[in-house]
């Protein structure tokens, strides 16, 4: 059954243009919604760290119980998320096929608001509620990286930013390194004296053809899709080439081992050919894994049981704000809200799951509250 308030809010926010670094319009709407619910809203300067126009939003409402809970989603979306025209067919929401849908992460925002409305009208005692909407998540977790977690009283929370059916939770996710290589060769006339040159393009190809990549093991991947050369003519031996990509692993040691292997492999090939080499190794975020016995997982299990929703605890393949928060001592896991095929024009949102995700947000708050005592 359609929940009119959630559905209307979903359409409102999906059709509010937003992008990484350009979240001001949606931030104003969300701040107003939080204030109407009685939250005190503040913003930080996270946008300044990556050239964005606004910062993260923090909404706080004090409670009568001793404890605090964090609920978080991100405000931005991947490119091709402007001018979205939602289309509903048979209980599923799509875009019109020319853009993404932006259910990632508008559906998470709406689930949080529905959960808040439910618990605030229930009259039940509540802990301190901290609602956090981040910027620049899709372009590099910039909002989370700029977060001072000491602002939060909460020591655990839920990130409403995961694909899948309602009841799916992401309790582990990979860490990520950006890796790149710049190869310096030596120009020479390709027809008269090619043997006097050092072909940077060929060396790049040799590096990549012998570099371990793709699915490396059950928890580790690597991918290098971006290639370039400095050549503009076919009659000159290429003197500059570069490639870049990434490595991911849910095991921090395996990630570190691959980064070391990448460096050694590229250096070996370059030295053999007499080429210059400059490597780039940038840690984007660390992996996390929350064990089943942790309180944040046990609360999720109990909340799903109270609603009769089957639950699962799985590993994700991408980074999320939880990677940053967990590394800084704030225990968080991802919550699915019913979307799939995110980041593509085929993105879709199962509305029944979306509506139930609002119920789940309320149940997570209420289940956490049951573990708190009165001040």
Contact (Cβ atoms closer than 8 angstroms) between residue 53 and residue 24: yes
Catalytic residue among 76, 130, 239, 347: 76
Site of tokens 């849910």: 250
- Cα-Cα end-to-end distance for the chain: 39
Q: How far apart are CA 12 and CA 9, in angstroms?
A: 5
Q: What is the dihedral of CA 117, 112, 132, 82, to 10 degrees?
A: -120
Give the SS3 label for residue 80.
coil
Catalytic residue among 44, 104, 114, 137: 137
Closest CA to 361 of 294, 309, 323, 284: 309
Query: What is the edge-to-edge ordering of all strands in the sheet holding 92-94?
Result: 87-89, 92-94, 348-350, 339-340
Q: How far apart are CA 202 and CA 213, in angstroms?
A: 18
Query: What count of other Cβ atoms lies within 10 Å of the Cβ of residue 105?
Result: 30
Q: How far apart are CA 53 and CA 55, in angstroms?
A: 7
Contact (Cβ atoms closer than 8 angstroms) between residue 233 and residue 273: no
The torsion angles phi and psi of 16, rounded to 5 degrees, stand at -90, 110
Q: Is 76 noted as a catalytic residue in this protein? A: yes
Identify any residues that bridge with 215 across adjacent strands, giving them in sequence order: 221
Note the Cα 69 to chain centre separation in Å.
Answer: 20
Q: Which residues contact 227 (CB under 8 A, 6 or more apart)?
A: 204, 208, 241, 242, 243
Where in the chain does DSSP place strands (E)? 40-43, 57-61, 65-66, 68-74, 87-89, 92-94, 128-134, 156-162, 168-173, 175-184, 214-217, 220-229, 240-249, 276-285, 288-289, 312-315, 331-336, 339-340, 348-350, 373-374
Q: How far apart are CA 128 and CA 67, in angstroms?
A: 6
Active site residues: 76, 137
């Amino acid at each position: 059954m359609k929940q009119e308030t959630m559905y209307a809010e979903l359409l409102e926010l999906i059709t509010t243009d937003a992008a990484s670094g350009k979240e001001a319009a949606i931030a104003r709407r969300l701040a107003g919604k939080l204030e109407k619910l009685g939250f005190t809203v503040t913003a930080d300067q996270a946008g300044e760290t990556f050239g964005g126009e606004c910062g993260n939003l923090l909404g706080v409402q004090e409670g009568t119980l001793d404890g605090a809970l964090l609920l978080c989603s991100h405000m931005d979306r991947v490119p091709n998320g402007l001018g979205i025209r939602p289309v509903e067919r048979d209980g599923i929401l799509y875009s019109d096929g020319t853009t993404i849908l932006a259910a990632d992460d508008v559906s998470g925002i709406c689930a949080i608001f529905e959960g808040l409305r439910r618990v605030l009208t229930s009259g039940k005692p509540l802990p301190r509620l901290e609602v956090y909407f981040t910027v620049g998540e899709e372009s590099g977790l910039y909002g989370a990286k700029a977060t001072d977690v000491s602002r939060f009283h909460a020591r655990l929370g839920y990130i409403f930013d995961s694909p899948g059916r309602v009841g799916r939770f992401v309790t582990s996710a990979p860490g990520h390194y950006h890796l790149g290589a710049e190869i310096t060769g030596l120009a020479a006339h390709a027809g008269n004296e090619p043997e006097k040159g050092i072909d940077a393009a060929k060396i790049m190809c040799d590096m990549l053809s012998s570099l371990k990549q793709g699915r490396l093991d059950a928890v580790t991947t690597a991918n290098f899709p971006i290639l370039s050369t400095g050549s503009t003519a076919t009659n000159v031996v290429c003197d500059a080439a570069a490639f870049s990509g990434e490595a991911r692993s849910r095991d921090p040691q395996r990630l570190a081992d691959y980064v070391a292997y990448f460096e050694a492999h590229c250096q070996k090939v370059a030295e053999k050919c007499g080429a210059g080499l400059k490597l780039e190794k940038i840690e984007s975020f660390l992996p996390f894994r929350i064990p089943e016995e942790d309180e944040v997982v046990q609360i999720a299990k109990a909340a799903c049981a109270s609603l009769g929703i089957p639950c699962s605890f799985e590993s994700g393949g991408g980074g999320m704000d939880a990677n940053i928060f967990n590394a800084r001592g704030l225990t968080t896991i991802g919550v699915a809200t019913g979307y799939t095929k995110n980041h593509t024009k085929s993105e879709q949102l199962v509305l029944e799951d979306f509506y139930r995700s609002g119920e789940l947000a309320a149940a997570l708050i209420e289940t956490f509250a049951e573990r708190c005592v009165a001040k």
